[in-house]
Structure 1
Amino acid sequence: MPDEVGVDHWEPLLVSGDRVAASFADARGGLGRTFFLDLAGGAIVSATSPAPTGRKAIAGPGEFLIGSQGYGEFTTGRYDRDGGTTARWASHGAMLADGRGTICGPELANHLPSTSRFRRLAPDSTLVDGPPLTGYCTSFPAMDREGTVVFWRDGKLLAVDAGLKAHELFAMDDSRDAMGRTLLLREGRVVVSLGSEVLTFHSPLGPLAEGPWPCGDANLLGNPVLG
């Protein structure tokens, strides 16, 4: 690794069960590694091979999703508490994980015209196709208790239900690319940050799903900890 190394700027330190996932990236080349540590003593249990950096999430107790995008890589791996790869998918995006083990979310392919889709990552490393996605930038999604995922993309507030059917909740002419998290609050309120603005919508969605990663940073408090 080069001497100039910067901490991964997308996700914070992830803690799940008795394991910690700490990611570091080379600021010049975009390659990085994730180190899996024992929470009690801090010993390194395992580490990923150097690869292009990508999105990450908690998948379950002691388990993590590690994405890789760039230099021809467009993958997501699931790692167990020993750092072993239990599944790997040919997809990368802002993935969510609910308490039933469902992993899904919008892909984040880095090119136009868009070839991204909403995907479900099946346990056998196969992909279940959801609706195609137009545009480029995507807010980090949120999932309700019925498995419906809501996010902002290409000037639209979109919801994809558990049957992988897309619903357009709101649309406007908007090309801003500075997007943050999507929050799902009480009584179906959806909050999205776009650039310097925060937009609030009323929707038919239910409460935020229970599980290890139902929205960005694991919960509404931005607290990525799963006991």
Structure 2
Amino acid sequence: MFDIESAIESWKRSFGNNHAIGSEEALELESHLRDLTTELCQSGLSEREAFMIGTMRLGHPSELECEFAKISPAAHWQRRVLWMLTGYIAMTVGGAIISTMVAIAGTGVAILGLNGTATGVAMLAVLALGWIGLLVLIQRHSQNTSTDRNRFSFKWGVAAVALLMLSPLLTGSGGVIRAKYVAISHLGESAMVYSFGGWAIHLGVCIACLLLIRKLSQTAYADASTIS
């Protein structure tokens, strides 16, 4: 059975990755679509037929994006820059948190008296788990196309600045503690293990990010094609 509300929600989600159409424009388009659907239903068409014809009259999502981009090109590029900066800050803060966790883990293992290899492996395990967790959060958050929920607030800005200020302090403190409690030979051994393993993990993170970008791009085009 055709559900008009679910169809409209699915149609709205096609604008989730659209840089030219904001929340106000999406609400305006939704209002036009509802008016068209109501008008067509009153003429004797079913809700499914009215919805399909209404979306065709409004135009393909890619065509609508082009039209809105022509109306406000500055806003179009501002949104693109905003999301790029947001992604940069998110990855910077996420990397700072992960680095702090790695330093804490390495310090804890060193204080327990384990050798350099064990310390390096423990730090690599925390590094891998941290990046996997961050990528999972990004993937889940990308499925949320609600503009209100995705809006960057002042409190999030303050939290990001606080984390970026505390992270070097905690990371440096961990290094000082390890240097005090761990033998020089063990420090060199853990550093070598962490350096080579860290390179491999960061390479994997880059590949995962590229695959995620590709997946999100394909999802956006698939949603647009399904609606049209």
Report which of the two has the higher share of helix.
Answer: 2
TM over 0.5: no
Greater relative contact order (Cα < 8 A, sep 6+):
2
Report which of the two has the higher share of strand.
Answer: 1
Greater Rg by CA: 2
TM-score, normalization by structure 1: 0.20
